[in-house]
């Protein structure tokens, strides 16, 4: 299998940074939810943090297999305060949409470079992003339907607590 091109290497390194940044954001979100006594949301977000770390690791492992140069960059400080759980999950959805667009861009680059192995890897991420965006959208809908406070909020929080490891 040919070595990764410099364009694909740069794009994957940037995506590793995005995945690690997303993980850091989820950890900050989880901490905020903990301070709001929303244990279910905190747990859901902590699982999401672990999932994002897994996404970054998958890219790192792939690059190592292809003799790509792995470069880890600084991660910006995440937003750590939110006006409500709805506001937090709207941020989750925006973050996931940005990741989706980035994945599409890397996939387009892999097609342009005729890197079939990278296309195969990236197809997994494309499918994963469908799930990520859908999950955030469903939670936003529940918060809007149930109300972002009182018993509706507690019901959504309990539902978030029921998430088992991995989605």
CA distances (Å), origin 115, targets 23, 65, 96, 126, 148:
27, 14, 25, 16, 46
pLDDT digits (tens, 9 = 90+) for 51-63: 999 999 999 999 9
Fold type of domain 6-161: Ferritin (1.20.1260)
Q: What is the pTM of this model?
A: 0.91
Could you tell me the two tokens for 15? 């995506």
141 has a pLDDT exceeding 80: yes
Residue 164 has pLDDT above 60, yes or no: yes
Handedness of CA 108, 109, 115, 118 (dihedral sign): negative
Per mean pLDDT, which range of 14-18, 81-85, 151-155 is the poorest?
151-155
Q: Which residues, at least 6 apart from 119, have a Cβ–Cβ distance to it below 8 Å?
A: 107, 110, 111
């Amino acid at each position: 299998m040919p070595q990764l091109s410099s364009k694909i290497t740069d794009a994957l390194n940037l995506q590793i940074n995005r995945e690690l940044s997303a993980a850091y954001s989820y950890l900050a979100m989880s901490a905020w939810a903990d301070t709001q006594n929303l244990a279910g949301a905190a747990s859901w977000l902590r699982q999401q943090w672990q999932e994002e770390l897994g996404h970054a690791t998958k890219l790192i492992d792939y690059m190592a297999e292809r003799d790509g140069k792995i470069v880890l960059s600084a991660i910006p400080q995440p937003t750590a305060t939110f006006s409500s759980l709805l506001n937090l999950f709207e941020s989750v959805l925006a973050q996931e949409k940005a990741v989706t667009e980035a994945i599409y861009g890397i996939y387009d680059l892999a097609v342009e470079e005729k890197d079939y192995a990278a296309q195969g890897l990236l197809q997994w991420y494309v499918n994963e992003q469908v799930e990520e965006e859908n999950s955030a959208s469903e939670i936003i809908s529940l918060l809007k339907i149930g109300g972002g406070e009182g018993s509706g909020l507690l019901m959504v929080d309990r539902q978030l607590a029921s998430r088992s490891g991995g989605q």
